[in-house]
Amino acid sequence: MKEFKYVITDPVGIHARPAGLLVKEAKNFKSVATFIKGDKSAKATALMKLMGMGIVQGDEVTVRVEGEDEEACAAAIEKFLKENF
């Protein structure tokens, strides 16, 4: 299992379009990535649930990745977050 934390810097938060692209990115991997904020969580492949977490600027999210390609998957998601959120 891989885990990292990220603080959202985008003024709007995890919003529709980049969230959709994040889902696309996550679907490229066999591992399951989960976003966790407080008591809420959503798989990185579930767009509506991910948006439903209401992640806004300044929020810290934990991303947990489990599966055979977890290294690459975690790295890709972290990179995506840094570039887009």
Partner 1 sequence: MQVFKGIKIVNGIAIGKIKIYKVPVYEIKEDLISDIAGELDRFEAARVKVQDQQNALAEQEVKDGREETAGIFEAHALMLDDDDLIDSCKELIGEGHTAEFAVRKGFEAAAEMFRNMDDPYFQARSADVIDLKNSMLDVLFGNDTESLQGKEPAILVAEDMAPSETVKLDKSLLLGLVTRLGSSNSHTAILARSMNLPTLIQCPDIADDWDGKFAILDGYNSCIYIEPEQEIIDKLTAKQKEDREKEAKLQELKGKPSVTKDGQKVRLYANIGGPKDINAVIENDAEGVGLFRSEFVYLNSKTDPSEDEQFAAYKKVLEALAPRLVIIRTCDIGADKTIDYMNLDKEDNPALGFRAVRICLSRPDFFKRQLRALLRASAFGNLGIMFPMIISKWEVQECKKILNECKEELVKEGVAIGKYEIGIMIETPAAALCADDLAEEVDFFSLGTNDLTQYTCAIDRQSANLERFADTHHPAVLRLIRETIEAGHRHNTWVGICGELGADPTLTETFLSMGVDELSVNPKSILPLRGNVRNVDLSGVKKNNNPEPKSESEVKEVKSEVKSEPAKGFWGRLFS
Residues that bind partner 1 (CB under 8 A): 7, 9, 11-13, 15-17, 19-21, 23-24, 45-49, 51-52, 54, 56-58, 82
The answer to whether the CB of 62 falls within 8 A of the CB of 5 is: yes
Q: Which is nearer to partner 1, 14 or 65 (CB)?
A: 14
Closest contact distance (angstroms) between CB of 59 and partner 1 is 8
CA angle 70, 74, 78 (to 5 degrees): 175
Q: Which is nearer to partner 1, 3 or 12 (CB)?
A: 12
Write out the catalytic residue numbers.
Answer: 15
Give the tokens for residue 71.
């290294």
The answer to whether the CB of 80 falls within 8 A of the CB of 62 is: no
